[in-house]
Structure 1
Amino acid sequence: MTSEQRYWWRIALELKLRKCSGDAFQDFFSVMMGKVHGTDFVRVRAYGRRGDKGCDGYVQSSGQVFQCYGALNGDSGKVDYLIGKMEDDYQKAVVAIPSLMKEWHMVHNIVDGLPIEAVEKLDVIKKSDPARHFGFIGIEGFEQRIFGLMESDIEDLLGVVATAKDAQNVQATEIRELVAHIASSSDTVDFDSANIKPVPPNKLVFNKLPNHWRNFIAGGWPNAGVVKSYLDRHPDPLMGERVAQIFRVRYQYLKAQNLNPGAIMSSLFEMVTGTGSVLPERMVAAQALLSFLFESCDIFEDEPAKVAS
């Protein structure tokens, strides 16, 4: 696996988890575990009034019981519900399948981090049942399992991603289509022709973007010039400023929701590519466009000027 594939697949995994909820999340987890463990993993589902006895999946050799929580949009806002679900699901399993269960794991899609109350609840459960092992499986656990698979299996789970060769052959037609797509929403955005501010060199660090998004932006910089060249030659001389303003407004909207930098970047990426599977050609074009916008317009923050002591 190349470094480019790794950050592309990390982005694909993040978007997948943010979008999967409920049964879709449980299904994605089960497919992944089947690829990791083969027939040692048993997919479990509820059968009518019998329910699932607090078990959404089971690894036979280790006695690992898994319970899934796929929050809508990967949101941890329903803290009380999550805590209650952990307690209820554990109690169901420990009563119904005690001889099977040697470990109990809560699998979740809360990409941006669990509430501390969930950590406290798991600690209470651990202390009440010291003979068993307990844990959470979040995006890091998915990444660890998926990235240990063969590339063909990773592609089955997360799709085909761009390569270094794709990035070296970014298509101007893809840039044109992306710009046209973004500009089509310009009528709904307040527009001004203020100059676009230059980006400080350490903007990636200052904004505390996760490493895979830093690599994404940095990897797109060599192609940012293609975007600039296209916009400079555009029949509408204000197209560059128009697109930049659309992203400024979108960024401020996302920031106002107190989203962290990774969540904001995910939303901006999907704003460019749309949802669903994305072809490698569109991936590298989106990367080039977002890198250009990050470098040249007001998305994310400029580092405050340092006051001389």
Structure 2
Amino acid sequence: MLPHQRQYAQAKFRSMVEDSTGNEFEKLFHRLMELSHPSYMPIRTHGNIGDLGGDGLCARCRTLYACYAPDTLRVSEVRDKFLGDLASAMTQRPEQFDAFVFVHNDQRGIHPVVSGLIAQQQQALTSITLEQMGPRKLWYEALELNLGKMEALLQESIPIHEVRYGVGMADIEPLLLHLAETRPQHAPAEEIPLPTPFKADYNGLSIRAQQVLQRARPYIYQVGQYYQGIISHTEQDEVAAGFAAYYRQMRKEYGDQPDEILWQMQRYVLGQEHPRWERADAADVVVTFFFEQCDIFEIPPLDWRPVTSGGEPG
């Protein structure tokens, strides 16, 4: 899949998730999971036994999914849905799953009531893992699809001609604005070395690519400060998961071109339009942060050293 096709798919899928509710959202979720997991089984309600606490079951990964995307969100209904599905599943199909996932379409994140219920029930239930899956994680699932499956998910053909998008990874738009507005205009007098000096060499990044990371390195502390200051404690982990998923996809497509992978990671953040310089610099900081956090690119073995021109380790 070409980069502009993937960005088209992301925008389209995000809109589909946001606009669908009730049965339509559940159908979209089933279609996604059936395309990405061969062992996934949609569960329909039957007679007086209902759905036994789940809307879908992934047999291979032993995960049970419960969908909730109402037209109008009511806290009491969210609570009853979550607790009711969980209790039914634990009673009627306890041997079938190891993880219970509450699936929703709230673009702003999981409702605070549900997050509290998940944390509360996780303490009480040590035999299973409780998770939530919102629009961001749904896209990470879709990200692994090839062009044919992506078109099946969207139920339309993806344009072949190149389309330019000014917004890339919408989830980090506030972070880009924060960095662009607060980054100091003058870099420190002394360069700050990369914390993993062999990682860039191990991945075969060119001197030019390493300079991009080097220039951004003094400012990555601002990314950490940003994530520490926001309310959602899972935000950084979920964004990191997105970077890791996109990196894996880029490595499949450009495995022998590390500079191309780095550039594609920048496009993942920005979109394809040529950005203003402060926005481009902010994107470099974000990519460098996740490079340092080891969410993207490969980690060299502890005893690995680059080979010098004379054929000996440096």
For 2:121 and 2:147, the matched residues in 1 are separated by: 37
Q: Give the AA of the match of 2:27.
A: D
CA distance, structure 1, for counterparts of residue 108 and residue 5 of structure 2: 22
Partner of 1:114: helix, strand, or coil?
A: coil
Q: Cα offset for 1:42?
A: 1.4
1:135 is matched with 131
Give the Cα separation in 2 of the matches to 1:115 and 1:10.
23
**Matched AA of 1:165:** E
Among candidates 85, 88, 93, match of residue 89 of structure 1: 85
Secondary structure of 2:94 counterpart: coil
Post-superposition Cα deviations, 1:2-21, rounded to whole Å, max 9, x if no partner, equal 33223221211111112221
Instruction: Tell me whether 1:80 sits opposite 2:76 in the alignment.
Output: yes
CA distance in 1 between counterparts of 2:140 and 2:159 reads 21
**Structure 2 residue matching 1:7: 3-state secondary structure:** helix
Correspondence for 2:22: 22
- Partners of 1:10 and 1:212 within 8 A in 2: no
Whole-angstrom CA distance in 1 between matches of 2:41 and 2:133: 17
Question: Deviations along 1:53-87, whole A, 9 cap, x unmatched?
Answer: 11111111222111111222xx6x42222122111
Name the structure 2 match of 1:107: 103
Q: Give the aligned partner of residue 55 of structure 1.
A: 54
Give how far 1:127 is off.
0.8
User: Displacement, 1:99?
Assistant: 1.2
- The equivalent position to 2:157 in structure 1, one of 160, 165, 170, is 160
Shift of 1:162: 3.5
Structure 1 residue identity aligned to 2:61: S
Kept in 1: contact 2:4–2:162 (CA 8 A):
no
| C-alpha distance in 2 between matches for 1:144 and 1:100 | 25
Aligned length: 175
**Distance apart, 1:143 and its partner CA:** 0.9
Normalised by the length of structure 1, the TM-score is 0.51
Once the two structures are superposed, the pairs formed by residues 113-192 of structure 1 within 5 Å of their partners are 113-158=109-154, 159-165=156-162
5+ residue gaps, structure 1? 168-202, 216-309
Preserved contact between residue 33 and residue 40 of structure 2 (Cα < 8 Å) = yes
TM-score, length-normalised on structure 2?
0.50
Percent sequence identity over aligned pairs = 18
Q: Give the Cα–Cα distance (whole angstroms) in 1 for the partners of residues 162 and 173 of structure 2.
A: 19
Q: Which residue of structure 1 lines up, in the alignment, with residue 8 of structure 2?
A: 8
Are the equivalent residues in 1 in contact too, given 2:35–2:153 (CA < 8 A)?
A: no
Letter in 1 for 2:34: G
Partner of 1:98: 94
SS in 2 for 1:165: coil
Inter-partner Cα distance in structure 1 for 2:126 and 2:104: 23
Once residues 171 and 118 of structure 2 are traced to their aligned partners in structure 1, the CA distance between those partners, rounded to angstroms, is: 26
Query: Does the CA contact (< 8 Å) of 1:65 and 1:104 recur in 2?
Result: yes
The question of whether the paired residues in 1 share the 8 Å contact of 2:67 and 2:103 is answered with yes
What are the equivalent positions in structure 2 for 1:156-305 lying under 5 Å apart? 156-158=152-154, 159-165=156-162, 210=171
- What amino acid is aligned across from residue 66 of structure 1 in structure 2? Y
Q: What is the aligned-residue RMSD (CA, Å)?
A: 3.1
**Residue identity opposite 1:4 in structure 2:** H
Q: Distance in 1 between matches of 2:5 and 2:172?
A: 14
Structure 1 residues 211 and 6 mapped into 2: Cα distance closer, same or farther (>3 Å)? farther
User: Offset of 1:209 from its aligned partner?
Assistant: 6.2
Q: Which structure has greater helix proportion?
A: 1
For residues 155 and 124 of structure 1, do their structure 2 counterparts lie closer, same or farther at Cα, with a shift above 3 Å needed? same
Aligned-residue offset at 1:164: 4.8
Separation in 1, partners of 2:22, 2:41: 19
Distance 2:159 2:108 in 1: 25
How far apart in 1 are the matches of 2:170 and 2:136?
A: 16
CA contact (8 A) 1:10 1:143 kept: yes
Partner of 2:162, secondary structure, is helix
1:91-118: CA deviations, max 9, x gaps?
0110111111211111111122222221
Structure 2, unpaired ranges of 5+: 177-314
How far apart, CA to CA, are the structure 1 residues paired with 2:47 and 2:74?
Answer: 26
Deviation at 1:212, TM superposition (A): 8.0
Aligned mates of 2:31, 2:55 — CA distance in 1: 12
